[in-house]
Amino acid sequence: MTRKKLPGTPREPRGGSVDAPGKKHRPPLEPGPKAAEFETAFAAYQGARHGILMMNGTVTMEVALKALGIGWGDEVVVPALTFVATAYAPMAAGALPVIVDVEPRTWTIDLDQVEAAVTPRTKAIMPVHLGQQMADMDRLMEIAARHGIAVVEDCAHAHGQRWSGRESRSMTHGVRCGDEDGG
Ligand SMILES: Cc1ncc(COP(=O)(O)O)c(C=O)c1O
């Protein structure tokens, strides 16, 4: 197949956007050394063994759910008070978001309602640590363990946040998801 050159197409690949400025001849979609450096540094900051740069928080949560094998016919419990991405991610994976209310005191997911919402189809709970206010991770992890379901934390507002002196991510048998800008 011959490729027709579009008008205005650069003759050489430009430097990758995730690499240091001024570096040339790197294909645009290939992460450079700065990306790997950031992944390592951010994982260490979070107390995680691994860190992988992703495009945004929404896609990260979708990929996390898919990586856990969650899809069509499955249910994922999410809080009502959050950004739309928390409910969109299960839908993008093919699963049904089951929306429960938040606690009036903390505005995080109401765990009595989580208990009531769990069915044999429930495969994950997605707490949102809203505005750095963490959900009650002790009780949430106990509920998840009792029912054998995963926890995928929406950490878009909770970088560096701790629960009982530990990084929240390190307590999950799921995945911690967040944006680099905290948004
Ligand atoms: C609570 C929450 N979760 C997820 C997201 C999604 O992040 P992104 O916009 O990077 O897809 C946001 C974004 O504002 C958010 O506030």
Q: Assign 172 a pLDDT band (cuts: 50, 70, 90).
A: very low
Beginning with the edge strand found earlier in the chain, give each strand of the sheet holding 175-177 in spatial order.
Answer: 96-100, 75-79, 122-125, 150-154, 175-177
99-131 pLDDT tens trace? 999 999 999 999 999 999 999 999 999 999 999
| Angle (deg, nearest 10), helices 57-67 and 85-92 | 40
Rounded mean pLDDT of 132-161? 92
Distance 50 CA to ligand 1 centre (A): 21
134 touches 157 (CB < 8 A): no
Distance 23 CA to ligand 1 centre (A): 30
Which domains, and CATH codes, for the chain? 12-53 (no CATH), 54-177 (3.40.640.10)
Instruction: Give, using CA atoms, the residue closest to atom 8 of ligand 1.
Output: 57
5 touches 18 (CB < 8 A): no
pTM > 0.75: yes or no: yes
31-76 pLDDT tens trace? 788 999 999 998 888 888 888 888 889 999 999 999 999 999 999 9
CB of 158 shorter than 6 A to ligand 1: no
Instruction: Give, using CA atoms, the residue closest to atom 14 of ligand 1.
Output: 183
Q: How far apart are CA 130 and CA 80, in angstroms?
A: 11
Distance 76 CA to ligand 1 centre (A): 17
Q: ∠ CA(131), CA(132), CA(134), 5° rounding?
A: 115
